[in-house]
Amino acid sequence: MENRIVVMGGRPLNGAVRIPAAKNSVLPLLAASMLCGDVRLRAVPRLSDVAASLALLRGAGCAARWEGEDILVSGTPQNSSLPGQTAEQMRASILFCAPLLAKLGRAETSLPGGCNIGARPIDLHLAGLRQMGAVEWEAGPGRLVLTAPSGLHGAEITLRFPSVGATETLVLAAACARGTTVLRGAAREPEIADLAAFLNRCGAHIQGAGSSTLYIEGRRNLSGCVFSPLPDRIFASTLACAVAAAGGRAELSGCPASLYAPVLEILEQMGCRVEKGGDSVRLSRFGRLYGAGRVFTGVYPALATDAAPLLAAAMLCAEGESSIEDVIFERRFGCAAGFERLGAKVQVNGRTLCIRPGGVLRGTELAAPDLRGGAALVVAALAASGTSVIGHPEHIDRGYAAFTEILSSLGAQIRREERSRNPSAKKTSSKKQNHLAIGTKRWYDTVI
């Protein structure tokens, strides 16, 4: 069976959405739970990356299960080898190594997978762990084996680049290491502060999270806790860009504007109306969209690299020129080919996506290239006239739970469908659908 998303574009969005917890906070928190006692994470979105993380926890010998919307993790790891196939599926699997090293003195895994948006090395993770007493062993292609024969000890570490993942790895390694770790050049993303808040609630001693220098005093044992991960600023950015692209008005609650301020500022400059209040944002666009000119991503608090494809989808609908340069990942705009198929006037020059006005967006067949690129194609399809079909939605499922349901609740004509790969079955289904009397034809019976 082939899974796909079908969108009938051209309708404005209207309604209210409560923003779910952030994938990029939940995943490090699940890794951190291996260091702690009984943990309850509240209101976790059902993402495929979350399912993969639970499989890694179980593979390590922890008990991990859903209880309603919450995830419960208990028990300390018994097995230092992570299930390789699962680890290959996502980038965040590397985060599970430091807790295994801390608890068992050994970690074995497959080199992490993740979106094909760039090289995605782990040298910064490994260099910091080596400074804390870890040893890397020859493990064959695609495999990683680390040991800490004398346990992990504190160190003074400076990251040459504020890598989010490397910062998380070293916080996880330092939380229970012997002595104090000073981590300079650390990432300042909100997800780092969320990880520190979680660990501190379990008895860790981490100071400076959110700044570029962290001070971590290792603790032998950590307790458990109940914790609500921070809201997903990229999910909020996605919906904001969808309203900008399709037009209409939405209230996004449960995620303070400050977490995605650069996105909102650019959308406002492009002609959207943005009203901020407490942890809600009301965003509307009823008139023209103007080009944004030259836009750059950067490390937090600059424009998030993950939001770049979503912002680009909104820029396709603008009456002026825009460009986005992603300084973080070298292949961020895999969605450009899909934008072009929709009729947009786009060009990728290295790390920069250039968008010219005048493209008329018409529905067509598309394929999600990666997580944020796939979501960006859905956003662009909402603004296109006619029906689009987006294949490989499994990329989108990694970071967006109930994506089509949420967009549908805002008035989008969008649905998921499974189709047989068997061509004869396809002919039958389209023949059957074409027999519908005119007038009763449903919007999604226009099969491409």
Residues that bind ligand EPZ (CB under 6 A): 23-24, 27, 91-92, 115, 118-125, 161, 163-166, 305-306, 328-329, 371-372, 399
316 and 359 Cβ atoms separated by less than 8 Å: yes
Complex with ligand EPZ: residue 154 or 399, whichever CB lies closer: 399
Separation between Cα atoms, residue 395 and residue 203, nearest integer Å: 36
Give the chain's end-to-end CA distance (angstroms, integer).
17
Closest distance between ligand EPZ and the C-beta of residue 174, in Å?
Answer: 16
Closest distance between ligand EPZ and the C-beta of residue 118, in Å?
Answer: 5
416 and 404 Cβ atoms separated by less than 8 Å: yes
Closest distance between ligand EPZ and the C-beta of residue 242, in Å?
Answer: 16
Distances, alpha carbon 133 to alpha carbons 39, 64, 102, 123, 151, in Å: 28, 29, 11, 15, 7
Complex with ligand EPZ: residue 369 or 399, whichever CB lies closer: 399
List the catalytic residue out of 36, 115, 255, 272: 115
For residue 388 the two structure tokens come to 């689009």
Complex with ligand EPZ: residue 195 or 245, whichever CB lies closer: 195
For residue 15, the tally of other CB atoms under 10 A from its CB is 16
Complex with ligand EPZ: residue 133 or 165, whichever CB lies closer: 165
Q: What are the strands of the beta sheet with 273-277, ordered from one edge?
A: 13-18, 248-253, 280-285, 273-277
Known active-site residue 202: no
Separation between Cα atoms, residue 193 and residue 279, nearest integer Å: 18
> Residues 288-311, buried b or exposed e (16+ Cβ, 10 A)?
ebbbbeebebebbeebbbbbbbbb
Complex with ligand EPZ: residue 166 or 240, whichever CB lies closer: 166
Closest distance between ligand EPZ and the C-beta of residue 404, in Å?
Answer: 19
Complex with ligand EPZ: residue 11 or 23, whichever CB lies closer: 23
Closest residue to ligand EPZ, based on beta-carbon distance: 165
For residue 363 the two structure tokens come to 């529905």
Strand locations in 190-229 (E): 205-207, 213-217, 225-227
Closest distance between ligand EPZ and the C-beta of residue 163, in Å?
Answer: 3
Closest distance between ligand EPZ and the C-beta of residue 305, in Å?
Answer: 5
Separation between Cα atoms, residue 51 and residue 53, nearest integer Å: 5
Strand locations in 185-245 (E): 205-207, 213-217, 225-227
Complex with ligand EPZ: residue 8 or 239, whichever CB lies closer: 239
Which of 111, 164, 118, 163 minimizes the C-alpha distance to 334?
Answer: 118
Residue type, position 400, single letter: Y
Closest distance between ligand EPZ and the C-beta of residue 64, in Å?
Answer: 18
Active-site residues: which are they? 115
